[in-house]
Amino acid sequence: MTEKMVLMQERATKCAEEIKKHDEVQLVSHIDADGITSAAIIAKALERADIGYEMMFIKQLDENIIQKLADINPELTIFTDLGSGQLEHINSYKLNSVVSDHHHPQGNIELHLNPHLFGANGSYEISGSGTTFILASQLGDNRDLADLAIVGCVGDMQYRRHGQLVSMNRCILDTNRDVISPKKDISLFGKQTRPVYKMLQYSSDPFIPGLAGNEDACIELLSNVGLQFSDDEKWRRWIDLSEDEKMRTTSFLIQYCMQNGMSSYNITRLVSEGYILLNEQEGTEMRDATEYSTLLNATGRYMRAEIGMKVCMGEREKTYRQAQDLLSNHRKNLVDGLNFVKDNGIIQLSHMQYFDAGNYIPETIVGIVAGMSHFSVGNRNLPIIAFADKDDGYKISARGTQELVNRGLNLAEALKTVCKELRGAGGGHDIAAGATVPLGKKEDFIHMLNSVLSTQIKRT
């Protein structure tokens, strides 16, 4: 166990002692996979400790929401996967709170559990769900909830920097191998549920030139590998292949990428560590941490995070089917969004590129579309910025790559700097961040952000 983990546990003990004083608490969490798993972890721990709760999911925490909470005046509010950026408002409204978060803190409160307070990086060392798992572990024996913590950090892309989970994420994984197992494997999405050719066709990270988006080319490549249809004449999934078939396919794919000009960095990312939830049924989204997190994101993006939370807490049947329906609709909207970007183009500046989705792409998914566009139609040597209309301004989503981060990119700091000048709000992580700015400030934001990024990104 790392020193950082020990320090986190000590602070978590203090937070847990406060929680145990109450019979009922208010939970507030974010709507993405990390936030939904965080909510499920703390809710399950509270149920086991016979503590009641009310649940609230929100897209973004701001002063208005904190004021509404203060008006309700709960005995205790527990924030998960958010709150660290609003500590000053939490203090000013005298809201009795425990904050379990991993974003950069702004301000200070006593019961604040955050890796940055102990010298750790919340972008890759531990996520909101991991932080909340540490808190839950001080409320009782909740080790079986470790799989949800890993799903949350995978949904937060915390494995990207090193191709596997490290630091405190690794501690959570290694001490709970009875519920989740790491496995070195091909890194493409959909190993549990997609036919193999679809897994290749929809690959975006890493982007595979000549295969991504090209169904015929994917089928031809697999035919050259020698893969056969199954007995019912349907393509098999990755999990249906033998180990020998998997090795041959991976080797052939690496050779293909080398011959088609793919960078050595991205070739190495074709194989990475994946995470299997051992208590879940094989062939379902919940078996694989990456697919599970995508399912949860689909519920949150359409303001049905409570459905994702119920799935995390063990509900299947009707609730699971509802989540699958949301996922199907989510995928359609992503395809429509990606086609919009392809048709309308991306504007490139000296140190960034951007597109304006207006009201065509919902603000809740514009960041995902930005990430997909970055790898399919954009310039991967520049960060990509996406705009979507809001009633009171613009939602902004920014995405980078690990290569850009290695060269100095920090989108959270860049967005925070610009938003401070424009009376907006911004934050997140070095590789992915978000912001909101007032109406009429879009052009100012673009030029100011490009200037800030020019001071960050070192030329190679």
More confident residue, 205 or 402: 402
pLDDT category, 210, cuts 50, 70, 90?
Answer: confident
Query: What is the structure's pLDDT at 128?
Result: 97
Our count of domains for the chain comes to 3
Q: Same domain for 230 and 306?
A: yes
Q: Same domain for 316 and 396?
A: no
pLDDT digits (tens, 9 = 90+) for 434-460: 999 999 999 999 999 999 999 998 765
Q: Could you say which of 134, 156, 178 is where a domain stops?
A: 178
Q: Same domain for 219 and 306?
A: yes
The pTM score is 0.85
In a domain, 339, yes or no: no
Rounded CA separation 240/238 (Å): 5
In a domain, 200, yes or no: yes
Query: What is the structure's pLDDT at 262?
Result: 78
pLDDT digits (tens, 9 = 90+) for 258-274: 888 777 777 888 899 99
Q: Same domain for 174 and 208?
A: no
Q: CATH number for the domain including 29?
A: 3.90.1640.30
Residue 181 Cα distances to 92, 203, 272, 274, 276, angstroms: 44, 24, 14, 8, 5
Closest Cα partner for 250 from 192, 191, 163? 191
Rounded CA separation 105/115 (Å): 10
Query: What is the structure's pLDDT at 231?
Result: 58
Q: Same domain for 25 and 92?
A: yes
pLDDT category, 411, cuts 50, 70, 90?
Answer: very high
Q: Same domain for 279 and 398?
A: no
Q: Same domain for 289 and 377?
A: no
Please report where in the chains the tokens 């063990």 appear, as a residue.
Answer: 314
When pLDDT is averaged across residues 363-369 and rounded to a whole number, the result is 88
Q: What percent of the chain has pLDDT over 90?
A: 72
Q: Same domain for 126 and 259?
A: no
Q: Could you say which of 274, 302, 334 is where a domain stops?
A: 334
CA angle, corner 116, sides to 434 and 1, nearest 5? 125
Q: Could you say which of 123, 158, 178 is where a domain stops?
A: 178
In a domain, 394, yes or no: yes
Rg (Cα) of the chain, in Å, rounded?
Answer: 22
325 C-beta neighbours (distance < 10 Å), count: 14
In a domain, 374, yes or no: yes
In a domain, 340, yes or no: no
Range of the domain at 285: 186-334
Rounded CA separation 276/281 (Å): 10
Query: What is the structure's pLDDT at 386?
Result: 96
Q: Same domain for 32 and 133?
A: yes
When pLDDT is averaged across residues 320-327 and rounded to a whole number, the result is 95
DSSP code, position 270: T
State the amino acid at position 459 in one-letter form.
Answer: R
